[in-house]
């Protein structure tokens, strides 16, 4: 197991590369989801503003 983590002496280059990539992969998912959440919220707010409140069949929350 230690041998695996040592990566034949290249551990200081291999593991940071993997960690960096993992961070980018995770951050991109979080960014994309928050972009969609924001866009949804704003679209609902626009719709609510464009029409009389009584006809809006949903609640707008922030």
Partner 1 sequence: MAWVWFHRFGSPPHFYRLATRLCPWFGWSALLLCVAGLIGGLGFAPADYQQGDGFRIIYVHAPAAWLSLMVYVVMASSAAVGLIWRMTVAHAVAASCAAIGASFTAVALLTGMLWGRPMWGTYWEWDPRLTSELLLLFLYLGYMGLRNAIDDLGRADRASALLAIVGVVNVPIIHYSVTWWNSLHQAPSVMKFGRPTMPASMLLPLLAMLAGFTCYFVTLLLIRARAEVLRRERSAHWIATALAPPAGSGTGTGTDQSAGSAGGVPA
Contact residues for partner 1 (CB under 8 A)?
4, 7-10, 13-14, 16-18, 20-21, 24-25, 27-29, 31-33, 35-44, 46-47, 50-51, 56-58, 61
CB of 17 to partner 1, least distance (A): 4
Could you give the CA distance from residue 50 to residue 39 in angstroms, rounded to a whole number?
16
CB of 45 to partner 1, least distance (A): 11
Residue entry with tokens 């929350």: 61
Dig out the tokens for 21 from the structure: 């990539």
Looking at beta carbons only, is 9 or 52 nearer to partner 1?
9
Task: Using alpha carbons only, give the angle 27, 4, 18 rounded to the nearest 5 degrees.
Answer: 15
């Amino acid at each position: 197991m230690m041998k695996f983590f040592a990566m034949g002496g290249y551990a200081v280059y291999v593991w940071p590369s993997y960690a960096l990539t993992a961070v980018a992969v995770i951050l991109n998912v979080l960014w994309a989801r928050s972009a969609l959440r924001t866009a949804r919220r704003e679209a609902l707010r626009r719709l609510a503003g464009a029409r009389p409140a009584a006809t809006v069949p949903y609640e707008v929350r922030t």
